[in-house]
Structure 1
């Protein structure tokens, strides 16, 4: 079968609307085009068939015998197409939505909120996948990825920015000198062992600049391979860590960690990203939910 074996599909769609509604004007309104555009598309079909499809009846239109036959065929074909399309959309809507995110975000922020997410987005069967940086090469393996990153974004990404990143120092109440540090200015950190992740050594200097502290005055003493390990080390009293606020919010609320100097924004943000061109209707709903959770945190 070639394209020449089929009628002009845009013209056929226009004809079906005019025949079903019995009006060129109503068809134009439904299709969001002009009355003249509908008339032209109908003429395209009539010229292709060599026969008229409508006759004038007063101020309205009526189908010819050929027009009635074509309308019946269109109704059947478009009905089957609509039904098949709805089935495909239903199948996609019920399929698992795979969300990739770094292990620390997964363990410390997403998993504690899974029960609430399932309750508030019951039609989103979410599957979680650990996805560490770099993400760009792996978006084809997930429906979306939740990450902390800074623009500019890769050209192939569709990005929902959710919230600005805020970072700050945290320490355990069991840390030696914790009581003293709770009442001290940020300059007291010059004499403390500072923990950081090897993948983000710029976090402490970035925070220091935001607070007016010379970055060179801080001594980063121990690198941890993963943010999750970094925060566990801080909770164990091994030093002062630098962390994104949402990932320690529950620990702060429980008193497991302290944040004596608060949190400051960085150039990065929380973002939900997917491959450009993704049409999954569940993506905006998930972005809205995540945005609300981050605002609440």
Structure 2
């Protein structure tokens, strides 16, 4: 008697490969070998007696049969995944997992965590550091806090919280500060600027918005993370570029100065949630974050906190 369904392991391997567009990436996600994924795909192709993928250059693409199977399998796995998550998790008791880049986590969320937990005790917040929280590798958070610009990633519902504003910051201890203040922002074109590979566009965006030549910028020490960049600035190693809210506490405490102000970019602070997931706590968290970011903006502008 023939089976009505193929191997679920084979379908899972196919779904991951079709979604990620790569056998290697599917193997990494499912924690198996490249060969194991290839064998499962061959099982399906033998049972269908048709190819599901064809090679194109160094990659693979779905055949028309593969596209039909992908559309059916993806929806079925989504339903299974959602059903399983709901069975395992009681929303009233489970922690709310918030994905967040480590720099935002360390410099903005953690300093406000006591107030957040006091104001929203029902969240039972669990923070998940993710350098790219909108593309988690193995776990999908309940929501992700990020600085991002449209177009928004597919599969996420985005709540815009506040516009991003960036600007140069420097320690009062920096040896070249007096010279820079005397010459004005145009002097930054002759400065060895601190920068980060995680936000390579930050200096050019600010320079263009400030009417400075992007080609005149000169870069000094680079850092892999924004957090390290700002620690270097606080230590007096040079001039860095940063989102306003991430340095607000340092500005308030006098650890950093922003002599040339901040410029708005096309990015925003956003709270993103998976589209297929519904959770009433998201609206409460989005409202709290929006108010906290507005409070920070008022502080920088010299207005009373609300």
1-structure distance, mates of 2:194, 2:179? 19
Other structure's SS at 2:268 match: strand
2-structure distance, mates of 1:264, 1:247? 14
Provide closer, same or farther for how the CA distance between residues 138 and 162 of structure 1 changes in structure 2, counting only shifts above 3 A.
farther
Q: Check whether the contact 2:189–2:218 (CA below 8 A) recurs between aligned residues.
A: yes
Within a 5 Å distance, the mapping from 1:112-127 to structure 2 comes to 112-127=111-126
Q: Which residue of 2 aligns with 1:188?
A: 187
Within a 5 Å distance, the mapping from 1:237-276 to structure 2 comes to 237-276=236-275
1-structure distance, mates of 2:232, 2:258? 15
Q: Check whether the contact 1:148–1:165 (CA below 8 A) recurs between aligned residues.
A: yes
Larger radius of gyration: 1
Shift of 1:277: 2.3
Shift of 1:135: 2.4
Gapped regions of structure 1 (runs ≥ 5): 1-87
Provide closer, same or farther for how the CA distance between residues 235 and 123 of structure 1 changes in structure 2, counting only shifts above 3 A.
same
Q: Check whether the contact 1:167–1:265 (CA below 8 A) recurs between aligned residues.
A: yes
Q: Check whether the contact 2:133–2:144 (CA below 8 A) recurs between aligned residues.
A: no
2-structure distance, mates of 1:270, 1:167? 12
Shift of 1:138: 4.4
Shift of 1:94: 2.4
Q: Which residue of 2 aligns with 1:99?
A: 98
Shift of 1:137: 4.4
Q: Which residue of 1 aligns with 2:31?
A: none
1-structure distance, mates of 2:283, 2:153? 19
CA deviation map 1:154-178 (0-9, x unaligned):
2311110101110000010000122
Q: Check whether the contact 1:194–1:241 (CA below 8 A) recurs between aligned residues.
A: yes
2-structure distance, mates of 1:263, 1:184? 18
CA deviation map 1:277-297 (0-9, x unaligned):
221000010000000111111
Q: Check whether the contact 2:199–2:226 (CA below 8 A) recurs between aligned residues.
A: no
1-structure distance, mates of 2:271, 2:212? 32
Q: TM-score w.r.t. structure 2 length?
A: 0.66
Q: Which residue of 2 aligns with 1:207?
A: 206
2-structure distance, mates of 1:139, 1:178? 45
2-structure distance, mates of 1:172, 1:237? 5
1-structure distance, mates of 2:136, 2:107? 25
